[in-house]
């Protein structure tokens, strides 16, 4: 037991957490001297590498001074808080990584609060002290204040602090450059307690799952009591009190970035178990004769929902492999098994499911993953979830933090207050303004793109769920209307060139369009139906000549998340493996007018 340390690394997005994990893996000599390991080793998912963020928590381990250190890399974005909440159960200590300039951010507060509640021993690492304008001493005071506000115990308040740069590969207890991160590794051995060995029969809570084409679903968790052995009969204890006997086929422990087969695993170590069927995250693998289930993990509720339906556009089935409602339901059911913060409910329409998540990024990563797997689907406008508390209609509120240059601070404040946000804190630091707001979650939808446009891309935004509070009234949506295609066909340079004074386009000449598809943003606040497939006419006086496309402005490229924030209630997004298209829910103009009349009535 003394030879094991289980530690989770928590930090805000972009504070250097995965880079630190890289350095820990290198210091444990996980790689051969001639082996190319690359950077951000733990971010091995395509979407993670493209976005530069961690989405899925992962396990690795290193041997240091004959002690096995199990490292758990966690997501930094609040939308993936469900991942963090469950994997913290495997840890006995946490490394809180904080940027030496930005200090603790709202999402840091959320995850740290969960870690302190579980009684985990914290180590604070102040990273990026090599950056200009960094203020490590001030950040240390802010971290201490945060611990105090989160009701940390006396022992937790007496945390060790390390300074350094994970990119340059050094950390020390004082802000003096050293050769390596070994002082931090020694600190993990010294300050993180060894796992407690509880007396009694086997108990192991499943906190994560893995999948193999050859072995099927694999249960991952920490053995909290007893010993689990290969070939043993165990009980899978469910939260409802039922237990089912099953046989353990194989056991693996984590070694480096991979797994190694083991015959038995004792209490305190993290392992992966093969052969258990029908398990869910939160179930307990217990003694076969006397099964005792561990308390169920509580995961914070979702705050947002979206409708997921089959693709019913004229281009249905042209691009994807999985296009039916059965495919959609099966895929969402699979996702529920590993994505604890997600909920799915059927709707009155058998082709549409209502999917609940933590935020726009949480839902967009699911949609992006599905389209890469070959699914075609239609998704609606994100809606926040309202609740009735003591007879009062309430909605989710978030803490919003914006760091913006002094010149743009008034624009930033104006934008947030228009969306019912209240300014709580305004501090000047090094030519920047640090602004903190309390804002309804509805007000955040579409705010990021507006904020970046108004501040010339200089604003840095972060937000985190706060609590449910009374409904704050209507919030103005998008101010501009959209340009809608009148017919199906191929867009021409001739038509787009003629319509450029009407607004900005989301398409370019040569793209396939259909009736009801949104092809641009109107310069006024009403919707405009146009013909973008008209070709230049031939006659006997003037030759058709070439369409002059050189004067056409480039199309506006929008990411999936930007599309989700852009659409209104009567619009949706068509998502296929190769295309993301905006469209009206009702494609025909007559249907839209009929719908508007019925809504007005």
Q: What is the pLDDT of residues 227-242, one digit of tens each?
A: 888 888 888 888 777 8
Determine whether the annotation assigns residue 15 to a binding site: yes
pLDDT at 545: 54
Q: Which conformational region is residue 474 in: left (phi greater than 0), alpha (psi within -120 to 50 degrees), or beta?
A: beta
pLDDT at 346: 92
pLDDT tens track for 60-78: 788 888 888 888 877 755 5
CA dist 103 and 215 (Å) reads 44
HSE-CB for 81 with a 13 A CA cutoff: 24
- What domains lie within the chain, and their CATH numbers? 4-191 (3.40.50.300), 203-287 (2.40.30.10), 387-470 (3.30.70.240), 482-600 (2.40.50.250)
Cβ atoms of 239 and 292 closer than 8 Å: no
Handedness of CA 141, 144, 145, 146 (dihedral sign): positive
What is the percent of the chain with per-residue pLDDT over 90, rounded to a whole number? 19
Contacts of 545 (CB under 8 A, 6+ apart): 536
Determine whether the annotation assigns residue 526 to a binding site: no
Determine whether the annotation assigns residue 129 to a binding site: yes
User: Is 384 in a helix, a strand, or coil?
Assistant: strand
Determine whether the annotation assigns residue 14 to a binding site: yes
pLDDT at 550: 60
Instruction: Give backbone dihedrals phi and psi of 344, rounded to 5 degrees, phi first.
Output: -130, 135
pLDDT tens track for 415-463: 999 999 999 988 887 778 888 899 998 888 888 888 888 888 888 887 8
pLDDT at 354: 94
Which DSSP helix (H) or strand (E) runs through 512? strand 512-513
pLDDT at 580: 93
Contacts of 245 (CB under 8 A, 6+ apart): 233, 234, 235, 288
Q: Could you identify the residue written with the tokens 């070959």?
A: 374
CA dist 65 and 70 (Å) reads 14
Determine whether the annotation assigns residue 19 to a binding site: yes
Distance of CA 115 to the CA centre of its chain: 19
The residue ranges of DSSP E strands in 512-600, in sequence order, are 512-513, 518-522, 528-530, 571-575, 580-584
pLDDT at 32: 41
Q: In the chain, which residues have pLDDT < 50?
A: 30-44, 48, 54, 601
Cβ atoms of 81 and 110 closer than 8 Å: yes
CA dist 303 and 400 (Å) reads 16
DSSP structure class, residue 88:
G
Residue 482 exposed, middle or buried by CB count within 10 Å (0-12, 13-18, 19+): buried
pLDDT tens track for 557-573: 988 888 998 898 889 99
Q: Could you identify the residue written with the tokens 């449910």?
A: 468
Determine whether the annotation assigns residue 149 to a binding site: no
CA dist 457 and 452 (Å) reads 4
pLDDT at 223: 86
């Amino acid at each position: 037991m003394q030879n094991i340390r289980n530690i989770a690394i928590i930090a805000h997005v972009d504070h250097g957490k995965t880079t630190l994990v890289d350095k820990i893996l290198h210091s444990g000599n996980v790689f051969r001297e001639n082996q190319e390991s690359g950077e951000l080793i733990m971010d091995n998912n395509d979407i993670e590498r493209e976005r530069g963020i961690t989405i899925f928590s992962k396990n690795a381990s290193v041997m240091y001074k004959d002690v096995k250190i199990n490292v758990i890399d966690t997501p930094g974005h609040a939308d993936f808080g469900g991942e963090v909440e469950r994997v913290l159960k495997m840890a006995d200590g946490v490394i809180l990584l904080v940027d030496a300039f930005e200090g603790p951010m709202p999402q840091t507060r959320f995850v740290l609060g969960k870690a302190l509640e579980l009684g985990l021993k914290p180590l604070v690492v102040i990273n990026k002290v090599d950056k200009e304008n960094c203020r490590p001493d001030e950040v240390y005071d802010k971290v201490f204040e945060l611990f105090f506000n989160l009701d940390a115990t006396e022992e937790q308040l007496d945390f060790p602090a390390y300074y350094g740069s994970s990119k340059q590969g050094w950390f020390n207890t004082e802000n003096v450059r050293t050769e390596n991160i070994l002082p931090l590794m020694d600190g993990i051995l010294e300050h993180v307690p060894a796992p407690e060995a509880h007396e009694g029969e086997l108990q192991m809570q499943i906190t994560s799952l893995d999948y193999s084409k050859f072995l099927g679903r694999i249960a991952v968790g920490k053995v909290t009591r007893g010993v689990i052995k290969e070939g043993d009969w165990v009980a899978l204890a469910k939260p409802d009190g039922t237990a089912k006997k099953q046989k353990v086929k194989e056991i693996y422990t984590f070694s480096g970035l991979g797994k190694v087969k083991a015959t038995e695993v004792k209490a305190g170590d993290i392992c992966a178990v093969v052969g258990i069927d029908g398990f869910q995250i939160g179930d307990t693998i217990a003694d076969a004769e006397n099964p005792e289930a561990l308390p169920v993990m509580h995961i914070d509720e979702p705050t947002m929902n979206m409708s997921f339906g089959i693709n019913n556009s004229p281009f249905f089935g042209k691009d994807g492999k999985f296009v039916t409602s059965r495919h959609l339901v099966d895929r969402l059911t699979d996702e529920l098994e590993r994505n604890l913060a997600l909920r799915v409910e059927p709707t009155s329409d058998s082709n549409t499911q209502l999917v609940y998540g933590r935020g726009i990024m949480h839902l967009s990563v699911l949609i992006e993953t599905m389209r890469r797997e070959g699914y075609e689907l239609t998704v609606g406008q994100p809606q926040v979830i309202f609740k009735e508390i003591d007879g009062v209609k309430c909605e989710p509120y978030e803490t919003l933090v914006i760091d913006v240059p002094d010149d743009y601070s008034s624009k930033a404040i104006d934008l947030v207050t228009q969306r019912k946000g209240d300014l709580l804190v305004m501090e000047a630091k090094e030519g920047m303004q640090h602004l903190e707001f309390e804002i309804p979650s509805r007000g955040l939808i579409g705010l990021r793109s507006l904020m970046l446009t108004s501040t010339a891309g200089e604003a840095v935004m972060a937000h985190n769920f706060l609590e449910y509070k009374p409904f704050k009234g209507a919030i103005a949506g998008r101010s501009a209307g959209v340009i809608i295609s009148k017919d199906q066909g191929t867009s021409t340079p001739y038509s787009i060139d003629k319509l450029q004074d009407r607004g900005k386009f989301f398409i370019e000449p040569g793209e396939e369009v259909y009736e009801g598809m949104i092809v641009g943003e109107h310069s006024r606040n009403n919707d405009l139906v146009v013909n973008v497939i008209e070709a230049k006419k031939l006659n006997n006086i003037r030759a058709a000549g070439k369409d002059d496309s050189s004067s056409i402005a480039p199309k506006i490229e929008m990411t999936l998340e930007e599309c989700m924030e852009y659409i209104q209630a009567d619009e949706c997004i068509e998502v296929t493996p190769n295309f993301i298209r905006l469209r009206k829910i009702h494609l025909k103009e007559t249907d839209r007018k009929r719908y508007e009349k019925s809504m007005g009535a």
